């Protein structure tokens, strides 16, 4: 049973480009969470999704960021027109709804 | 709102030393409490958890007790190893909410020297 799979592991984008981060939850998990880790900081909640629904996006920046979790396929975190301040590690986690979840290894986004 | 405060780091210890990493929290209701560990270049791994007051979570020699009276969840280990070198995050989940999003502390880097 594979864990939470994120890809790519590393992503480099120039300012103004789009970044797409993918997350495949653990088999049988229907809850997906995205977190962002800035340098020297803890993780900050961004968005919580269930299949085809955004449940809580209170941590998402109002512009340029979007997330989806379609009926088929991975969850996608999309950042349009990236800026240097978007450089961070983005972690996805999945659960069955009980406290405590499984994290992926993250995508490290660098904006140059 | 919810918050988690961890002691300032980094922490450097010799192998076999005793470890305590302090964590206090502020939350409404009755949160669940967690310790996560992050090894270099990897994602977070759940180390242990406690879901109600006076519960003790334990794993790999690490322990933490949910103390509601002091709103604390300090992590302890009697004898650390070099392989314990990592970043440790304390977190809480608002169990009264509709989902279990986590609020994290800033993390503390532990380095264990041989």
Per-residue pLDDT of chain A (112 residues; tens, 9 = 90+): 568 999 999 999 999 999 999 999 998 888 999 999 988 778 999 999 998 899 999 999 999 999 999 988 999 999 999 999 999 999 999 988 666 788 999 999 999 9
Residue of B nearest to A89 (CA): B43
Given an 8 Å threshold on Cβ–Cβ distance, is A43 in contact with B45? no
Q: What is the interface size between A and B, counted as CB pairs within 8 Å?
A: 66
Binary contact (B51, A101; C-beta < 8 A): no
Is A100 close to B43, i.e. CB distance below 8 A?
A: no
Q: Looking at residue A99, what is its pLDDT?
A: 65
**Could you give the CA distance from residue B113 to residue B89 in angstroms, rounded to a whole number?**
20
B51 touches chain A (CB under 8 A): yes
Q: Please report residues of A whose CB lies closer than 8 A to that of B102.
A: 33, 35, 43, 45, 101
Strands (E), chain B: 3-6, 11-14, 19-21, 23-26, 32-38, 44-50, 56-59, 62-65, 75-77, 86-93, 102-104, 108-113
- Alpha-carbon gap, residue B29 to A21, rounded angstroms: 34
Decide if pLDDT at B98 tops 60: no
Collapsing DSSP states into helix, strand and coil, what is residue A2?
Answer: coil
With CA atoms as reference, the chain A residue closest to B31 would be: A99
């Amino acid at each position: 049973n594979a864990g939470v799979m994120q890809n790519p592991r590393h992503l480099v984008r120039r300012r103004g480009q789009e970044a797409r981060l993918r997350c495949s939850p653990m088999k049988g998990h229907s809850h997906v969470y995205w977190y962002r880790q800035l340098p020297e900081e803890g993780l900050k909640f961004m968005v919580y999704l269930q299949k085809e629904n955004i449940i809580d996006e209170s941590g998402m920046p109002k512009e340029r960021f979007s997330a989806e979790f379609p009926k088929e396929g991975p969850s996608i975190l999309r950042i349009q027109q990236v800026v240097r301040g978007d450089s961070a590690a983005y972690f996805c986690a999945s659960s069955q709804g009980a406290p405590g979840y499984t994290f992926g290894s993250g995508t490290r986004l660098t904006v140059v | 709102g919810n918050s988690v405060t961890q002691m300032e780091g980094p922490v450097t210890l010799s192998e076999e030393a005793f470890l305590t990493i302090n964590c206090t929290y502020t939350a409404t209701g009755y949160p669940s409490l967690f310790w996560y560990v992050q090894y270099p270049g990897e994602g977070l791994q759940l180390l242990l958890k406690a879901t109600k007051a006076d519960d003790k979570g334990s794993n790999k020699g690490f322990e933490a007790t949910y103390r509601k009276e002091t709103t604390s969840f300090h992590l302890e280990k009697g004898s650390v190893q070099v392989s314990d070198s990592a970043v440790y995050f304390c977190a809480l989940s608002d169990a009264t909410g509709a989902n279990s999003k986590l609020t994290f502390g800033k993390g503390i880097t532990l380095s264990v020297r041989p």
